[in-house]
Amino acid sequence: MNKVKDTIQGISVIALYFLTTTFAGLILNLLPFDYSTWSEIAKNILTIGYEFIQLLLFLLILHKKVIKDTKEWFSKPLKYLGEYIKYYGLMLMVMYISNALIMKIVGLEIAANEQSIRDLIKSSPFISCAFVCFIAPVLEELVFRLSFYKILKKYPIVFIALSGLIFGSMHLIGSAQSLVEWIYIIPYGAPGCILAYTLYKSDNICVPISLHMINNTFSFIIQLVSIIL
């Protein structure tokens, strides 16, 4: 019975995410005002607000597991960080090496998705901080890790591979400007696989969420400093 319930919850969150993301423009066009005339900051607030609503919806569906894991994580945070912080180092190494190889061998610069995030930080640093450091890590871990985990828990290799592949793909769909840019699925997808593995090993969604937050916050600080300087 629990397996059926977990599967239904996982499928529901994944389906809702793809539906609300795919038809976001259509939904926004139904609003009783023309948001296309708004300033960039106002548009960013609207977009992040939309994703925050998505996050609340997914938390409502997955709240029992999230509450249980959060209580357990906060009861011994140093133990969890001490055991899993090494995977953050592995993520950094994979992303750095793969990005460096892509730039050197393929001759590409940063991915379009990464450039859009830098533009967001430059135009709206405080708004982008809320999104990059908090909303995005929780939202993405609930969708690409916990939901897939609930469906594929008994098939860890499939779970880890599929979680990373789809996670990487979602960072490129709509932003990749050529087929060649899909090579960036490596620096996006490999960390997704690592985060999926930490969830499988710990059975606690707060572990990949915390690592994802640390990674995004570190990247945000570096990019913000480079913009200021």
Of the candidate ranges 35-49, 72-86, 130-144, the one whose mean pLDDT is the lowest:
35-49
Give the per-residue pLDDT at 138: 97
Q: What mean pLDDT, rounded, does the chain reach?
A: 88
Helices and strands counted in the chain (H then E):
11, 0
pLDDT tens digits for 192-207? 999 999 999 999 999 9
Q: Alpha-carbon distance 85 to 38, whole Å? A: 41
Q: Alpha-carbon distance 147 to 151, whole Å? A: 7
DSSP state, residue 40: H
Q: How confident is the model at residue 124 (pLDDT cuts 50, 70, 90)?
A: confident
Q: What is the DSSP string of 195-224?
A: HHHHHHHH--THHHHHHHHHHHHHHHHHHH
Q: Alpha-carbon distance 119 to 218, whole Å? A: 17
Write down the pTM of the prediction.
0.91
User: 113 pLDDT exceeds 80?
Assistant: no
| Phi, psi (degrees; rounded to nearest 5) at 141 | -70, -35
175 versus 134: the higher-pLDDT residue is: 134
pLDDT tens digits for 137-159? 999 999 999 999 999 999 999 99
122 versus 7: the higher-pLDDT residue is: 7
